Structure 1
Amino acid sequence: MSEARDVETAWRWLLERRPHTRGAHEDALVPIAEAAYRHPMLARLYPFPTRGTLRFLRTPSPWHDADDLPIVGYAGPPYTVYAGSYASIVGTASNADEAVTLIVAHLPDDVVS
């Protein structure tokens, strides 16, 4: 499975559903990925679909911060948003845009600024 080396490429491959990349065959990922990309704060982060979730990373590989930022399960709706490392459920959303709002509301201050 190929991984993009930068944020812009990762988003492009994810949204284009580039073959042999993470999430390319996951129809349920499309609405949440599109909604997340429309939000400027999330579009700056590296999208990392894995195990039925979309994670947001501060940087491309190596992923030392994989459990730092909110995680969203994309099998919805409803969508479940978790705090980093699944510490808790921060909420559920009835659509992808509401899920993005929850994600952004729970980003650490150093990501928001």
Structure 2
Amino acid sequence: MLSDSRSPESAWTRLLQEFRPPHSGSDPYTPAMWTLLQAAHRHPLLSTLYPELSTTMLTFSRTDDFQMRGGERFPVIGAAAGKFGVSAYPVAENNILLVTSEVDKAVALAASLIEEQLDQ
């Protein structure tokens, strides 16, 4: 996202509108990602952060300016093949903390880890 005066809520609104189903057969965004976006947006902490989406990963930040994220080491939530995975920063195979079919468990773990960092 480019830096501007957008609030986290407006960033979420844009993202949810952009990726609302139905999707074409060639669309890389899966039904699991749509489920994840909705669950993360409903979470009281995660909805106050800026969301950013790659094909299979949802990341969070206190700023919408990528260059200002230097000290953030927030976990990410992945969604693929009906599973949701939480990975610690940096994202790597050996940093996977949870893989579950329950989106709310993944969202809760990521939010808890982010909250710990924000409290420091």
Length-normalised TM-score, structure 1: 0.77
Whose Rg is larger? 2
Q: Deviations over 1:4-39 (max 9, x none)?
A: 8421211001111269xxxxx524321001000111
Aligned mate of 2:90, from 59, 81, 85: 85
Partner of 1:62: 66
Q: 1:103 aligns with which of 92, 110, 114?
A: 110
Distance (whole Å) between structure 2 residues aligned to residue 98 and residue 45 of structure 1: 19
Q: CA 1:99/1:68 → structure 2, altered by over 3 Å: closer, same or farther?
A: same
Which stretch of the first structure deviates more once superposed, 34-43 or 55-64? Answer: 55-64
1:46 aligns with 2:50: yes
RMSD: 2.7
By relative contact order (CA 8 Å, sep 6+), the higher-ranking structure is 2
Bigger proportion of residues as helix:
2
Q: Provide the TM-score with structure 2 as the length reference.
A: 0.73
1:37 aligns with 2:41: yes
The answer as to 2:79 corresponding to 1:74 is yes
